[in-house]
Structure 1
């Protein structure tokens, strides 16, 4: 039987993930997932691809905001109600999005951590963005789609080919499943978990971020596991795929241990 084995959110794009036992799924993805993003002074989004230290920032959701923490730094508590009604157009890939400013203190906190001037933005009430493949489906600051799913067997297949195994955290999925064959998720067209139906819409093309250790923030000297993935997971367009991007077809609660039904 195929089951949901773990759930993860990443409150700020390119920071450490948080494992959950249950989570509410909105049309834009798991609640609190990738609702914050850092930008430079020109409004361009910043990620751990170029700034690996972001992976060592812990962002913990609270009932009314977020707590930021990192080794050697004082914790910073943010409250949604304190965010000013100040928006700026920011860029996430080719999308232009209105991002709400969080606070000057958050800007200073991250600027000191990264060693460059930056600003923390929130996906607020004036923010809007849709996916490419499913234009009626909203998405926040994720790379392109609301959810990412990977099977444990797919990771086991990859690890069997690597000089040293890597953890699932290196691929930053929201949903991890057990009980399926390796890469079975590539052939799914619609699934149901609990009462929620989800549509896999596109394989996830992997990048250099997979070569950065999420704990140490160090890059692998031989570009693993991307190097090995390139040898057997490259598609006809040259993309190296691992995992499936999903669009939720409604809202609902997901809980670890729920059965995953393959509808098509």
Structure 2
């Protein structure tokens, strides 16, 4: 069994960037979900309600972030130019002090989305922890630093789904090959290279999976969520696909590394 793909998501709810090699920090892949768009009240904004966010391309650079979107001028942001001010924003039930990125970034997203909003950064003073493993940090992800899905699970779904979908619908950071469908559901601890990771919770899926990551259009029949609901619903009514992970240390991951099941 091997690690077959790595992806980062620089801004919450945008398309991922494929990598051959990445450094994993305790809060996840470096650069992953360290930015978030918030509305005027400080609530986080995602493509669940604002599908156009899927068409923002956010490319990490050595000193910041490069943004582009349809019918918008490109914008380059530099960490060194971010104002020192922090502002509280909410991600689900968590309230996080996050660094402002500046008026230019705020105007860019406000113009693009057609409403007053702010771009915030998970800065040096920002803090947030996962629910199931206290003292384990996480940035602006929904709840956990990493998400893993096996290629076998997607193949099983596509055999059942009226129209095949890509792995991009589910936005995993780690994709593994060479397993039976949903083998990851039975793992609690794995090792990739020198890095150990704990699998702490199934990932419950929502309407995000019904959005085409390229066009931002919603599937008229709510696929693949409709198909998943028919055979992946748990006792609590949640539709699960993939597993949330917490790194137990730091290290480098590369595509092609062997994945060892420890528990």
Q: 3-state DSSP class of the match of 1:160? A: helix
How far residue 120 of structure 1 moved from its aligned partner, in angstroms, is 0.1
Residue aligning to 2:190: 191
Residue aligning to 1:262: 261
Distance in 2, matches of 1:167 and 1:108, equals 33
TM-score, length of structure 2 as denominator length: 0.99
Q: Where does the alignment leave 5 or more consecutive residues of structure 2 unmatched?
A: none
Residue aligning to 2:209: 210
Q: 1:134-180 deviations in whole A, cap 9, x for unaligned?
A: 11100000000000000000000000001110000000000000001
Q: 1:206-260 deviations in whole A, cap 9, x for unaligned?
A: 0000000000000000100000100000000110000000000000000000000
1:79-94 counterparts in 2 under 5 A? 79-94=78-93
Distance in 1, matches of 2:2 and 2:228, equals 25
Distance in 1, matches of 2:179 and 2:162, equals 24
Residue aligning to 1:44: 43
Q: State which drifts further: 66-75 or 41-50.
A: 66-75
Residue aligning to 2:71: 72
Residue aligning to 2:245: 246
Residue aligning to 2:120: 121
How far residue 71 of structure 1 moved from its aligned partner, in angstroms, is 2.1
Residue aligning to 2:9: 10
Q: 1:61-115 deviations in whole A, cap 9, x for unaligned?
A: 0000000011221110000000011101110000000010001111111111111
Residue aligning to 2:110: 111
Distance in 1, matches of 2:232 and 2:223, equals 13
Distance in 2, matches of 1:144 and 1:212, equals 21
Distance in 1, matches of 2:15 and 2:224, equals 19
Distance in 1, matches of 2:94 and 2:134, equals 13
How far residue 39 of structure 1 moved from its aligned partner, in angstroms, is 0.4
Distance in 1, matches of 2:11 and 2:161, equals 30
How far residue 263 of structure 1 moved from its aligned partner, in angstroms, is 0.6
Q: Where does the alignment leave 5 or more consecutive residues of structure 1 unmatched?
A: none
Residue aligning to 2:235: 236
Distance in 2, matches of 1:135 and 1:38, equals 26
Distance in 2, matches of 1:113 and 1:167, equals 27
Q: 3-state DSSP class of the match of 1:155? A: helix
Distance in 2, matches of 1:195 and 1:155, equals 27
Q: 3-state DSSP class of the match of 1:245? A: strand
Q: 3-state DSSP class of the match of 2:47? A: coil
Q: 3-state DSSP class of the match of 2:169? A: helix
- Cα RMSD for the two superposed structures: 0.5
1:34 maps onto 2:33 in alignment: yes
Residue aligning to 2:158: 159
TM-score, length of structure 1 as denominator length: 0.99
